[in-house]
Structure 1
Amino acid sequence: MVIGRGFVGHYMTGPDSPGPGRGHDRSTHVDTDTALAWVRAIAESVAAHADQLTRLDAAIGDADHGINMRRGFTAVVAALDAARWSTVGEVLTKTGTTLVSTVGGASGPLYGSAFRAAGKALASPEVSPEELLAGLTAGLEAVQRLGTAEPGDKTIVDAYRPALDAFEAALRDGADLAGAARAAADGAEAGMRDTTPMVARKGRASYLGPRSQGHQDPGATSTALIFRALAEVADR
Protein backbone atom coordinates (compact mmCIF):
# COMPACT_ATOMS: atom_id res chain seq x y z
CA MET A 1 0.00 0.00 0.00
CA VAL A 2 1.35 3.40 -0.96
CA ILE A 3 0.17 6.38 1.05
CA GLY A 4 -0.10 9.36 -1.24
CA ARG A 5 -1.02 13.00 -0.94
CA GLY A 6 -4.72 12.43 -1.32
CA PHE A 7 -6.19 15.21 0.78
CA VAL A 8 -8.64 17.77 -0.53
CA GLY A 9 -10.30 20.89 0.77
CA HIS A 10 -9.07 24.01 2.49
CA TYR A 11 -9.34 24.78 6.18
CA MET A 12 -9.44 28.53 6.33
CA THR A 13 -9.55 30.74 9.37
CA GLY A 14 -13.18 31.73 9.88
CA PRO A 15 -14.75 34.82 11.42
CA ASP A 16 -15.07 33.10 14.79
CA SER A 17 -11.49 31.87 14.84
CA PRO A 18 -8.86 33.23 17.23
CA GLY A 19 -7.61 35.67 14.59
CA PRO A 20 -4.17 36.61 13.34
CA GLY A 21 -2.98 37.67 16.74
CA ARG A 22 -3.37 34.15 18.10
CA GLY A 23 -0.61 32.56 16.10
CA HIS A 24 -1.60 30.96 12.81
CA ASP A 25 2.01 30.40 11.74
CA ARG A 26 2.02 26.65 11.27
CA SER A 27 5.79 26.64 10.96
CA THR A 28 6.06 27.30 14.68
CA HIS A 29 2.84 26.26 16.42
CA VAL A 30 -0.27 24.12 16.20
CA ASP A 31 -3.40 26.10 17.01
CA THR A 32 -7.01 25.04 17.34
CA ASP A 33 -7.72 25.58 13.65
CA THR A 34 -4.73 23.42 12.75
CA ALA A 35 -5.91 20.67 15.07
CA LEU A 36 -9.34 20.75 13.46
CA ALA A 37 -7.78 20.65 10.00
CA TRP A 38 -5.63 17.70 11.02
CA VAL A 39 -8.57 15.63 12.23
CA ARG A 40 -10.59 16.47 9.12
CA ALA A 41 -7.64 15.48 6.95
CA ILE A 42 -7.43 12.18 8.81
CA ALA A 43 -11.11 11.60 8.09
CA GLU A 44 -10.60 12.30 4.38
CA SER A 45 -7.60 10.00 4.19
CA VAL A 46 -9.25 7.18 6.11
CA ALA A 47 -12.27 7.40 3.82
CA ALA A 48 -10.05 7.33 0.74
CA HIS A 49 -8.12 4.30 2.02
CA ALA A 50 -10.98 2.46 3.75
CA ASP A 51 -11.13 -0.36 1.22
CA GLN A 52 -7.37 -0.89 1.39
CA LEU A 53 -7.44 -0.93 5.19
CA THR A 54 -10.23 -3.49 5.15
CA ARG A 55 -8.37 -5.69 2.65
CA LEU A 56 -5.30 -5.64 4.88
CA ASP A 57 -7.47 -6.55 7.86
CA ALA A 58 -9.16 -9.35 5.94
CA ALA A 59 -5.82 -11.15 5.74
CA ILE A 60 -5.09 -11.20 9.47
CA GLY A 61 -8.12 -9.79 11.30
CA ASP A 62 -11.85 -9.26 11.13
CA ALA A 63 -11.97 -7.50 7.74
CA ASP A 64 -13.56 -4.39 9.24
CA HIS A 65 -10.74 -1.99 10.10
CA GLY A 66 -11.35 0.38 7.20
CA ILE A 67 -15.10 0.30 7.74
CA ASN A 68 -14.74 1.02 11.44
CA MET A 69 -12.19 3.79 11.02
CA ARG A 70 -14.24 5.51 8.33
CA ARG A 71 -17.35 5.36 10.50
CA GLY A 72 -15.45 6.65 13.52
CA PHE A 73 -13.81 9.63 11.85
CA THR A 74 -17.02 10.53 10.04
CA ALA A 75 -18.63 10.75 13.47
CA VAL A 76 -15.67 12.74 14.78
CA VAL A 77 -16.02 15.39 12.08
CA ALA A 78 -19.76 15.68 12.76
CA ALA A 79 -19.08 16.11 16.47
CA LEU A 80 -16.40 18.72 15.90
CA ASP A 81 -18.59 20.64 13.47
CA ALA A 82 -21.39 20.80 16.05
CA ALA A 83 -19.54 23.02 18.52
CA ARG A 84 -16.82 25.61 18.92
CA TRP A 85 -13.47 24.66 20.38
CA SER A 86 -11.06 26.84 22.33
CA THR A 87 -7.98 24.66 22.68
CA VAL A 88 -6.03 22.02 20.82
CA GLY A 89 -6.71 19.69 23.72
CA GLU A 90 -10.47 20.07 23.44
CA VAL A 91 -10.34 19.08 19.77
CA LEU A 92 -8.23 16.01 20.41
CA THR A 93 -10.14 14.95 23.51
CA LYS A 94 -13.46 15.11 21.65
CA THR A 95 -11.88 13.14 18.83
CA GLY A 96 -10.81 10.43 21.22
CA THR A 97 -14.11 10.27 23.07
CA THR A 98 -16.02 9.95 19.80
CA LEU A 99 -13.73 7.22 18.50
CA VAL A 100 -14.22 5.16 21.65
CA SER A 101 -17.99 5.34 21.26
CA THR A 102 -18.20 4.72 17.51
CA VAL A 103 -15.31 2.49 16.39
CA GLY A 104 -15.68 -1.23 16.96
CA GLY A 105 -13.04 -3.76 17.87
CA ALA A 106 -9.75 -2.81 19.46
CA SER A 107 -9.20 0.24 17.27
CA GLY A 108 -11.74 2.47 18.99
CA PRO A 109 -10.33 2.13 22.49
CA LEU A 110 -6.73 2.30 21.28
CA TYR A 111 -7.04 5.35 19.04
CA GLY A 112 -9.53 6.91 21.41
CA SER A 113 -7.11 6.57 24.30
CA ALA A 114 -4.30 8.04 22.21
CA PHE A 115 -6.24 11.14 21.23
CA ARG A 116 -7.67 11.65 24.71
CA ALA A 117 -4.27 11.37 26.34
CA ALA A 118 -2.79 13.80 23.82
CA GLY A 119 -5.69 16.16 24.39
CA LYS A 120 -5.23 16.11 28.13
CA ALA A 121 -1.59 17.10 27.68
CA LEU A 122 -2.34 19.94 25.24
CA ALA A 123 -4.75 22.24 27.05
CA SER A 124 -3.80 25.47 25.25
CA PRO A 125 -5.12 27.43 22.24
CA GLU A 126 -1.77 26.82 20.55
CA VAL A 127 1.13 24.48 21.26
CA SER A 128 4.75 24.36 20.16
CA PRO A 129 6.18 21.44 18.20
CA GLU A 130 7.89 20.28 21.39
CA GLU A 131 4.59 20.37 23.26
CA LEU A 132 2.91 18.51 20.42
CA LEU A 133 5.59 15.84 20.66
CA ALA A 134 4.91 15.53 24.39
CA GLY A 135 1.19 15.16 23.72
CA LEU A 136 1.70 12.56 21.03
CA THR A 137 4.06 10.70 23.35
CA ALA A 138 1.36 10.66 26.01
CA GLY A 139 -0.91 9.16 23.36
CA LEU A 140 1.55 6.37 22.60
CA GLU A 141 1.94 5.63 26.28
CA ALA A 142 -1.84 5.33 26.59
CA VAL A 143 -1.93 2.90 23.66
CA GLN A 144 0.78 0.77 25.19
CA ARG A 145 -0.86 0.72 28.61
CA LEU A 146 -4.14 -0.40 27.13
CA GLY A 147 -2.85 -2.83 24.53
CA THR A 148 0.37 -3.93 26.28
CA ALA A 149 2.10 -3.87 22.90
CA GLU A 150 5.78 -3.22 22.28
CA PRO A 151 7.67 -2.48 19.06
CA GLY A 152 7.91 -5.65 17.04
CA ASP A 153 4.48 -6.99 18.03
CA LYS A 154 2.95 -6.03 14.64
CA THR A 155 0.57 -3.34 15.91
CA ILE A 156 -0.13 0.39 15.88
CA VAL A 157 2.99 0.83 18.00
CA ASP A 158 5.25 -0.23 15.13
CA ALA A 159 4.29 2.89 13.18
CA TYR A 160 3.66 5.22 16.14
CA ARG A 161 7.03 4.75 17.87
CA PRO A 162 9.22 5.46 14.81
CA ALA A 163 7.03 8.45 13.96
CA LEU A 164 7.77 10.02 17.34
CA ASP A 165 11.45 9.13 17.14
CA ALA A 166 11.68 10.83 13.74
CA PHE A 167 9.72 13.87 14.93
CA GLU A 168 12.04 14.29 17.92
CA ALA A 169 15.18 13.83 15.84
CA ALA A 170 14.00 16.39 13.29
CA LEU A 171 13.32 18.96 16.01
CA ARG A 172 16.73 18.31 17.49
CA ASP A 173 18.25 18.98 14.07
CA GLY A 174 16.46 22.33 13.85
CA ALA A 175 13.41 21.44 11.76
CA ASP A 176 10.26 23.53 11.99
CA LEU A 177 6.84 21.98 12.59
CA ALA A 178 6.29 21.09 8.94
CA GLY A 179 9.70 19.46 8.64
CA ALA A 180 9.28 17.50 11.85
CA ALA A 181 5.80 16.37 10.81
CA ARG A 182 7.10 15.19 7.43
CA ALA A 183 9.84 13.25 9.19
CA ALA A 184 7.26 11.70 11.51
CA ALA A 185 5.09 10.66 8.56
CA ASP A 186 8.08 9.12 6.81
CA GLY A 187 9.01 7.30 10.01
CA ALA A 188 5.48 5.99 10.45
CA GLU A 189 5.36 4.72 6.88
CA ALA A 190 8.72 2.98 7.27
CA GLY A 191 7.46 1.35 10.46
CA MET A 192 4.25 0.38 8.69
CA ARG A 193 6.19 -1.39 5.93
CA ASP A 194 8.40 -3.11 8.49
CA THR A 195 5.37 -4.91 9.94
CA THR A 196 5.03 -7.09 6.85
CA PRO A 197 7.59 -9.76 7.83
CA MET A 198 6.68 -9.67 11.53
CA VAL A 199 4.82 -12.40 13.39
CA ALA A 200 1.88 -10.84 15.19
CA ARG A 201 2.02 -11.15 18.97
CA LYS A 202 -1.06 -9.11 19.89
CA GLY A 203 -4.71 -9.04 18.91
CA ARG A 204 -6.62 -11.33 16.60
CA ALA A 205 -3.69 -11.53 14.20
CA SER A 206 -1.66 -13.27 16.90
CA TYR A 207 -3.93 -16.31 16.59
CA LEU A 208 -2.40 -16.93 13.17
CA GLY A 209 1.14 -17.23 14.49
CA PRO A 210 3.65 -17.52 11.63
CA ARG A 211 0.83 -17.25 9.10
CA SER A 212 0.58 -13.54 10.00
CA GLN A 213 3.93 -12.99 8.29
CA GLY A 214 3.84 -11.45 4.85
CA HIS A 215 0.93 -9.14 5.64
CA GLN A 216 1.18 -5.44 6.47
CA ASP A 217 -0.53 -4.59 9.74
CA PRO A 218 -3.75 -2.59 9.20
CA GLY A 219 -3.40 -0.68 12.47
CA ALA A 220 0.12 0.41 11.63
CA THR A 221 -1.21 1.47 8.23
CA SER A 222 -3.97 3.66 9.66
CA THR A 223 -1.44 5.13 12.09
CA ALA A 224 0.74 6.09 9.14
CA LEU A 225 -2.27 7.78 7.54
CA ILE A 226 -2.76 9.83 10.71
CA PHE A 227 0.82 11.07 10.71
CA ARG A 228 0.80 11.79 6.97
CA ALA A 229 -2.34 13.87 7.51
CA LEU A 230 -0.49 15.89 10.15
CA ALA A 231 2.37 16.48 7.72
CA GLU A 232 0.00 17.60 4.97
CA VAL A 233 -1.75 20.09 7.26
CA ALA A 234 1.47 21.43 8.77
CA ASP A 235 2.82 22.04 5.27
CA ARG A 236 -0.15 24.13 4.08
Structure 2
Amino acid sequence: MGTDWALDWVRRSAAVVAEHKAELSGLDRAIGDGDHGENLDRGFRAVMAKLDGTTPDSPGATLKLVATTLISTVGGASGPLLGTAYLRAAQSAGDADELDAAAVVAVLTAARDGIVARGKAESGDKTMVDAWTPAVDAAARALADGGAVVSVLVAAAEAAEAGAEATVPMVARKGRASYLGERSAGHLDPGAQSSAYQLRAAAAAAQG
Protein backbone atom coordinates (compact mmCIF):
# COMPACT_ATOMS: atom_id res chain seq x y z
CA MET A 1 0.00 0.00 0.00
CA GLY A 2 1.51 3.29 -1.12
CA THR A 3 0.75 6.99 -0.83
CA ASP A 4 -2.28 6.71 -3.12
CA TRP A 5 -3.83 4.26 -0.67
CA ALA A 6 -3.11 6.48 2.32
CA LEU A 7 -4.61 9.50 0.58
CA ASP A 8 -7.68 7.51 -0.45
CA TRP A 9 -8.04 6.31 3.15
CA VAL A 10 -8.05 9.91 4.33
CA ARG A 11 -10.56 11.00 1.70
CA ARG A 12 -12.87 8.10 2.48
CA SER A 13 -12.57 8.80 6.21
CA ALA A 14 -13.49 12.44 5.65
CA ALA A 15 -16.47 11.41 3.53
CA VAL A 16 -17.82 8.81 5.96
CA VAL A 17 -17.42 11.15 8.93
CA ALA A 18 -19.32 13.86 7.06
CA GLU A 19 -22.02 11.36 6.11
CA HIS A 20 -22.45 10.13 9.69
CA LYS A 21 -21.79 13.42 11.49
CA ALA A 22 -25.31 13.71 12.90
CA GLU A 23 -25.36 10.05 13.95
CA LEU A 24 -22.03 10.34 15.78
CA SER A 25 -23.11 13.50 17.58
CA GLY A 26 -26.39 11.80 18.49
CA LEU A 27 -24.52 8.88 20.01
CA ASP A 28 -22.35 11.33 21.91
CA ARG A 29 -25.37 13.29 23.07
CA ALA A 30 -26.64 10.18 24.85
CA ILE A 31 -23.50 9.67 26.96
CA GLY A 32 -21.20 12.64 26.39
CA ASP A 33 -21.02 16.25 25.20
CA GLY A 34 -22.90 15.67 21.96
CA ASP A 35 -20.24 17.14 19.69
CA HIS A 36 -18.20 14.13 18.52
CA GLY A 37 -19.53 14.15 14.97
CA GLU A 38 -19.20 17.90 14.58
CA ASN A 39 -15.68 17.94 15.99
CA LEU A 40 -14.47 15.05 13.87
CA ASP A 41 -16.05 16.46 10.73
CA ARG A 42 -14.37 19.81 11.33
CA GLY A 43 -11.05 18.04 11.76
CA PHE A 44 -11.30 16.01 8.58
CA ARG A 45 -12.51 19.03 6.60
CA ALA A 46 -9.33 20.78 7.77
CA VAL A 47 -7.30 17.76 6.67
CA MET A 48 -8.87 17.89 3.21
CA ALA A 49 -8.13 21.61 2.99
CA LYS A 50 -4.48 20.90 3.80
CA LEU A 51 -4.37 18.24 1.09
CA ASP A 52 -5.66 20.76 -1.45
CA GLY A 53 -2.41 22.65 -1.00
CA THR A 54 0.10 19.82 -0.68
CA THR A 55 0.55 16.19 -1.62
CA PRO A 56 2.49 14.07 0.88
CA ASP A 57 5.13 11.83 -0.68
CA SER A 58 4.67 8.72 1.47
CA PRO A 59 2.04 6.93 3.57
CA GLY A 60 3.86 8.08 6.71
CA ALA A 61 3.83 11.72 5.63
CA THR A 62 0.13 11.45 4.85
CA LEU A 63 -0.63 10.05 8.29
CA LYS A 64 1.49 12.74 9.94
CA LEU A 65 -0.46 15.48 8.16
CA VAL A 66 -3.70 13.94 9.45
CA ALA A 67 -2.25 13.73 12.96
CA THR A 68 -1.10 17.32 13.23
CA THR A 69 -4.30 18.67 11.71
CA LEU A 70 -6.62 16.68 13.96
CA ILE A 71 -4.65 17.66 17.05
CA SER A 72 -4.92 21.34 16.17
CA THR A 73 -8.56 21.42 15.06
CA VAL A 74 -10.58 18.73 16.86
CA GLY A 75 -11.90 19.59 20.30
CA GLY A 76 -12.77 17.32 23.17
CA ALA A 77 -10.94 14.11 23.92
CA SER A 78 -11.08 12.71 20.40
CA GLY A 79 -8.65 15.23 18.90
CA PRO A 80 -5.66 14.35 21.07
CA LEU A 81 -6.54 10.64 21.04
CA LEU A 82 -6.94 10.27 17.29
CA GLY A 83 -4.14 12.71 16.63
CA THR A 84 -1.83 10.57 18.74
CA ALA A 85 -3.07 7.46 16.93
CA TYR A 86 -2.24 8.87 13.51
CA LEU A 87 1.07 10.28 14.75
CA ARG A 88 2.20 6.92 16.12
CA ALA A 89 1.00 5.30 12.90
CA ALA A 90 3.08 7.78 10.90
CA GLN A 91 6.14 7.05 13.00
CA SER A 92 5.64 3.33 12.45
CA ALA A 93 5.33 3.81 8.69
CA GLY A 94 8.47 5.93 8.59
CA ASP A 95 9.69 7.05 5.17
CA ALA A 96 8.70 3.85 3.35
CA ASP A 97 7.14 4.35 -0.08
CA GLU A 98 4.98 1.28 0.34
CA LEU A 99 3.69 -0.79 3.26
CA ASP A 100 3.37 -4.56 3.09
CA ALA A 101 0.96 -6.56 5.23
CA ALA A 102 3.35 -6.75 8.19
CA ALA A 103 3.97 -3.00 8.04
CA VAL A 104 0.23 -2.30 7.95
CA VAL A 105 -0.30 -4.44 11.05
CA ALA A 106 2.52 -2.52 12.73
CA VAL A 107 0.90 0.79 11.75
CA LEU A 108 -2.48 -0.25 13.17
CA THR A 109 -0.83 -1.54 16.35
CA ALA A 110 1.10 1.70 16.81
CA ALA A 111 -2.11 3.70 16.36
CA ARG A 112 -3.95 1.63 18.96
CA ASP A 113 -1.02 1.85 21.38
CA GLY A 114 -1.00 5.63 20.97
CA ILE A 115 -4.66 5.82 21.96
CA VAL A 116 -4.07 3.59 24.98
CA ALA A 117 -1.05 5.61 26.08
CA ARG A 118 -2.85 8.93 25.71
CA GLY A 119 -6.23 7.94 27.11
CA LYS A 120 -5.17 5.32 29.67
CA ALA A 121 -8.10 3.16 28.57
CA GLU A 122 -8.22 -0.57 27.99
CA SER A 123 -10.63 -3.02 26.40
CA GLY A 124 -13.97 -3.05 28.17
CA ASP A 125 -13.86 0.62 29.23
CA LYS A 126 -16.40 1.59 26.51
CA THR A 127 -14.08 3.76 24.43
CA MET A 128 -12.57 3.76 20.94
CA VAL A 129 -10.07 1.20 22.26
CA ASP A 130 -12.90 -1.33 22.08
CA ALA A 131 -12.86 -0.93 18.29
CA TRP A 132 -9.12 -0.60 17.83
CA THR A 133 -7.95 -3.57 19.91
CA PRO A 134 -10.13 -6.17 18.15
CA ALA A 135 -9.04 -4.60 14.86
CA VAL A 136 -5.36 -4.99 15.72
CA ASP A 137 -5.86 -8.55 16.95
CA ALA A 138 -7.78 -9.54 13.81
CA ALA A 139 -5.20 -7.92 11.56
CA ALA A 140 -2.40 -9.82 13.32
CA ARG A 141 -4.29 -13.10 12.92
CA ALA A 142 -4.86 -12.43 9.23
CA LEU A 143 -1.15 -11.71 8.80
CA ALA A 144 -0.21 -14.90 10.64
CA ASP A 145 -2.52 -16.83 8.33
CA GLY A 146 -0.60 -15.50 5.35
CA GLY A 147 -3.11 -12.82 4.40
CA ALA A 148 -2.21 -10.05 1.98
CA VAL A 149 -2.65 -6.37 2.83
CA VAL A 150 -6.28 -6.23 1.70
CA SER A 151 -7.17 -9.27 3.82
CA VAL A 152 -5.46 -7.73 6.84
CA LEU A 153 -7.35 -4.45 6.48
CA VAL A 154 -10.71 -6.11 5.85
CA ALA A 155 -10.23 -8.28 8.92
CA ALA A 156 -9.39 -5.18 10.96
CA ALA A 157 -12.47 -3.33 9.70
CA GLU A 158 -14.85 -6.19 10.42
CA ALA A 159 -13.44 -6.66 13.93
CA ALA A 160 -13.65 -2.92 14.62
CA GLU A 161 -17.32 -2.88 13.62
CA ALA A 162 -18.06 -5.84 15.88
CA GLY A 163 -16.05 -4.23 18.66
CA ALA A 164 -17.99 -0.99 18.39
CA GLU A 165 -21.29 -2.87 18.53
CA ALA A 166 -20.05 -4.72 21.61
CA THR A 167 -19.80 -1.43 23.52
CA VAL A 168 -23.59 -1.14 23.71
CA PRO A 169 -24.08 -3.19 26.91
CA MET A 170 -20.87 -1.94 28.54
CA VAL A 171 -20.75 0.44 31.49
CA ALA A 172 -18.31 3.24 30.72
CA ARG A 173 -15.22 3.40 32.91
CA LYS A 174 -13.40 6.24 31.14
CA GLY A 175 -14.24 9.66 29.79
CA ARG A 176 -17.34 11.76 30.25
CA ALA A 177 -19.61 8.73 29.77
CA SER A 178 -18.20 7.23 32.97
CA TYR A 179 -20.01 9.97 34.94
CA LEU A 180 -23.28 8.25 34.04
CA GLY A 181 -22.29 4.99 35.65
CA GLU A 182 -24.81 2.22 34.94
CA ARG A 183 -26.87 4.61 32.81
CA SER A 184 -24.13 4.53 30.16
CA ALA A 185 -25.10 0.93 29.35
CA GLY A 186 -27.36 0.48 26.36
CA HIS A 187 -25.60 3.07 24.21
CA LEU A 188 -23.09 2.62 21.39
CA ASP A 189 -19.82 4.41 22.10
CA PRO A 190 -19.35 7.24 19.56
CA GLY A 191 -15.56 7.01 19.52
CA ALA A 192 -15.66 3.29 18.83
CA GLN A 193 -18.18 3.83 16.06
CA SER A 194 -16.18 6.60 14.36
CA SER A 195 -13.04 4.47 14.66
CA ALA A 196 -14.84 1.59 12.96
CA TYR A 197 -15.84 3.94 10.14
CA GLN A 198 -12.22 5.05 9.68
CA LEU A 199 -10.90 1.48 9.68
CA ARG A 200 -13.54 0.45 7.15
CA ALA A 201 -12.39 3.40 5.03
CA ALA A 202 -8.82 2.03 5.16
CA ALA A 203 -10.05 -1.36 3.93
CA ALA A 204 -12.23 0.17 1.22
CA ALA A 205 -9.29 2.21 -0.04
CA ALA A 206 -7.22 -0.98 -0.29
CA GLN A 207 -10.00 -2.77 -2.15
CA GLY A 208 -10.24 0.07 -4.66
TM-score (norm 1): 0.86
- Higher Rg of the two aligned structures: 1
CA–CA separation in structure 1 for the residues paired with 2:68 and 2:129? 20
Q: Paired residue for 1:223?
A: 195
Deviations 1:140-183 (A, max 9, x none): 11111110000000001000000011111112112221122111
- Equivalent position to 2:139, from 167, 174, 190: 167
- Equivalent position to 2:148, from 166, 172, 176: 176
Q: Paired residue for 1:27?
A: none
CA–CA separation in structure 2 for the residues paired with 1:84 and 1:55? 34
The amino acid of 1:196's aligned partner reads V
Q: Which shifted more, 175-184 or 93-102?
A: 175-184
Q: Paired residue for 1:9?
A: none
CA–CA separation in structure 2 for the residues paired with 1:140 and 1:79? 25
Q: Paired residue for 1:207?
A: 179
The amino acid of 2:62's aligned partner reads V
Q: How far is the alpha carbon of 1:136 from its aligned partner?
A: 1.6
Point out where structure 1 has 5 or more consecutive residues left out of the alignment. 1-29
The amino acid of 1:31's aligned partner reads G
**2:100 paired with 1:108:** no
The amino acid of 2:184's aligned partner reads S
Comparing both structures, which one devotes a greater share of its residues to helix? 2
Point out where structure 2 has 5 or more consecutive residues left out of the alignment. none
Contact 2:60–2:89 (8 Å) recurs in 1:
yes
CA–CA separation in structure 1 for the residues paired with 2:178 and 2:91? 32
Q: Paired residue for 1:61?
A: 32
Deviations 1:113-157 (A, max 9, x none): 000111011121111121111122111111111100000000010
Q: Paired residue for 1:157?
A: 129
CA–CA separation in structure 1 for the residues paired with 2:150 and 2:106? 16
TM-score (norm 2): 0.98
- Equivalent position to 2:10, from 35, 39, 62: 39
CA–CA separation in structure 1 for the residues paired with 2:83 and 2:74? 9
- Identity, in percent, stands at 51
* Larger RCO of the pair (alpha carbons < 8 Å, separation 6+): 2
Q: Paired residue for 2:98?
A: 126
Q: How far is the alpha carbon of 1:48 from its aligned partner?
A: 0.5
Q: How far is the alpha carbon of 1:110 from its aligned partner?
A: 0.2
Measured on the aligned residues, the alpha-carbon RMSD in Å equals 0.8
- Equivalent position to 1:136, from 108, 114, 132: 108
CA–CA separation in structure 2 for the residues paired with 1:182 and 1:119? 20
Q: Paired residue for 1:23?
A: none
Contact 2:101–2:147 (8 Å) recurs in 1:
no
